[in-house]
Amino acid sequence: MDRVFINQLRVETIIGVFPWEREVRQQLLLDLEMAWDNQTPAVSGRLEDALDYGAVSARVEAFVGGSSYELLETLAEDLAALLQQEFNIPWLRLSVTKPGAVTAAAGVGICIERGAAG
């Protein structure tokens, strides 16, 4: 199966378990890799046949930006389910990075895979 990807999408949101984290917006970096048959849009040349990464990015920004999760794990699960349902994505890999969460690291986070690649 072919893949469509979005790398380091920056979104500010409320995320974290500590009281101070509930009062400030923090930046997250999201990486998405999504299974998609790219042969059809390659032949047709029609955006309607492609996985519109602009629309996916906008949906991610709206969902994550409007959320206030405590755990990255919960955010990732809910976002993956939403994207698979709304865009009919059979498989995806989602990485969520929280920069600066650990002083000695550029970022920490999680990576999940959901669905079947086909």
Question: Which helix H or strand E contains 9, and what residues bound it?
Answer: strand 3-15
Instruction: Give, in degrees to the nearest 5, the angle at Cα 78 between 46 and 9.
Output: 55
* CB contact at 8 A, 89 and 34: yes
Which entry of 98, 100, 101, 109 is annotated as an active-site residue?
98
Neighbours of 115 (CB within 10 A): 16
Q: Locate tokens 């976002």: which residue? A: 79
Question: Does the active-site annotation cover 98?
Answer: yes
Query: What residues are labeled active site?
Result: 98
